[in-house]
Structure 1
């Protein structure tokens, strides 16, 4: 609901701007993306973030522009994967670090929150469950994009995606599905944990399905994980 409200307000603002104001070719228009950051042991952040291209500063890398024009990747400035990371960190109180490579004109993120890279585990970026072909300051993002920063992204077997209803009736079974976000195929053996009194956890079957019966009314939050996979997005269910 919060993300939908962001989208509506942002769309109205852009429409007013486009109708009422001549847009210069190099204008840097911000947008709202759905950002998720999956750390080594926990989800560091998940939610909507407003961002626009801007300078980013890290301890290891210094201060550099991060607006999609890096390395001449895009002709006009705008919001990027790394600008979204920076905006979220400033708004929600977590830090990150990264070196800067002049050859690629981009940051190489080495730590987000309490999850630093290791000799074999690195941070990766995906948009819409696809690895970005360029760095985070080169990769432009657009309204409603699903942006994922994932720790140890290059050695995992699955990028889990959880789907299901957003409302349910108390005492009635309701089914959710765990898939691989890259392939769309069901993932067996994923543990889906639900918050709230008596909700507990379930393990996905051979088709990726899990079934919960919520007895306590209110909002229950669900998330899937598996040892060899990147955690799923969260799903919130209102039980009435």
Structure 2
């Protein structure tokens, strides 16, 4: 992900928060450094000001840079509230690149103020989707999952789940490790280490414990961010649980929990452009359609690519331009929100070229559906 996008740049679409703005909100926050987990747990935060040594004190309530019309709790506000517990410290400058937001540059011992671009940086994810704004512009709702991780570009995150929160001594417990990138889509993580076991090609393995007690473990893999923690009760012989220490059964796959399988994907379609059509001189500006989901959509994405004899370009929503001609290997999806009916309008009609339009719908169970349309614009 582009660092400017990570830290500060305003997205073209503000994603609404499901909570009542201005009310205290509890989110699940995790901070993964290269060598340790700085924080993992629930944080109750509200619209607030944030203070850093390098950036000073500023409002951090989602109204920054005009991202939201009213104040509410934010991603960076949750980070600041967690810092108030004394578990870690963080620092960052404010107002970089003319944007009213903080740039998270150091958490704990990892990172530094004004560190040169090109190496590891602090990347922020909400509900498995990488932020396209700074954290003071991104509001949060109840139960949102927020992850800060120190990483290089393109490093996947790991998500660990277990088949049960209770298992007997020496009994196998099925676990699954999946990975996800900027778009939040989960895929198997092969070769991950979990409590002494290694996952197969499907991201599955089993673990066992030779003594009773509350066991907490994570998944790790070279070239990936370590996973959330999973806690499992291994009861003493003759007991059915670990008493008050028995972990609850959440089901997100981001934090401790039990696998809950929802395999029905949303259905997404593109209605504004017909596949295979040829346009003269100017192509369509508007791309619209519908994503139907029985439960709840997490996000609808759009990706636009253009090919000519000079190479491939993709449309950058951040800059509202087609990128320089070259490779489309890094073509990025544009987030359109979580509404069933979606629409995106280009600033001007596409010029001559061969175009590929990809739309993807992702639901909250991480099931995805894609639709692709190709068209041509002639001179």
Q: Which bracket does the TM-score occupy, shorter chain normalised? A: 0.7 to 0.9
> How far apart in 1 are the matches of 2:221 and 2:149?
14
- Residues 163 and 153 (structure 1 numbering): CA distance in 2 closer, same or farther, change over 3 Å? farther
Whether the 8 Å CA contact 1:80–1:141 is kept in 2: the answer is yes
- Contact 1:153 1:230 (C-alpha < 8 Å) held by counterparts: no
Give the TM-score normalised by the residue count of structure 2.
0.53
Which 10-residue stretch deviates more, 138-147 or 100-109?
Answer: 100-109
| Separation in structure 2 between the aligned mates of residue 65 and residue 55 of structure 1, nearest angstrom | 4
Contact kept, 8 Å, 1:174 with 1:212, in 2: the verdict is yes
Cα shift at 1:204? 1.2
Q: Report the 3-state secondary structure (helix = DSSP H, G, I; strand = E; otherwise coil) of the residue aligned with 2:187.
A: coil
State the TM-score, normalized to the length of structure 1. 0.82
Displacement after TM superposition at 1:209 (Å)? 1.2
Superposed CA RMSD: 1.5
- Which consecutive residues of structure 1, in runs of 5 or more, have no partner in the other structure? 1-24, 194-200
Q: Larger radius of gyration, structure 1 or 2?
A: 2
| 8 Å contact kept, 1:58–1:99 | yes
How many equivalent pairs are there?
A: 207
Determine if the alignment matches structure 1 residue 169 to structure 2 residue 168: yes
| Structure 1 residue aligned with 2:85 | 91
1:115 paired residue number: 110
CA contact (8 A) 2:31 2:148 kept: yes
> 2:38 touches 2:87 (CA, 8 Å); kept in 1?
no
1:185 correspondence with 2:187:
yes
Mapping of 1:55-134 within 5 angstroms? 55-101=49-95, 103-116=98-111, 119=116, 120-134=119-133
CA deviation after TM superposition for structure 1 residue 153, in Å: 5.3
Higher RCO, 1 vs 2 (CA within 8 Å, ≥6 residues apart): 1
In 1, Cα distance between the equivalents of 2:54 and 2:154? 25
1:37-59 Cα shifts (integer Å, max 9, x gaps): 01121111000001112111111
Runs of 4+ that moved beyond 6 A: none
**Structure 2: gaps (5+ residues):** 1-19, 236-379
**Higher normalized helix content (fraction of residues):** 1
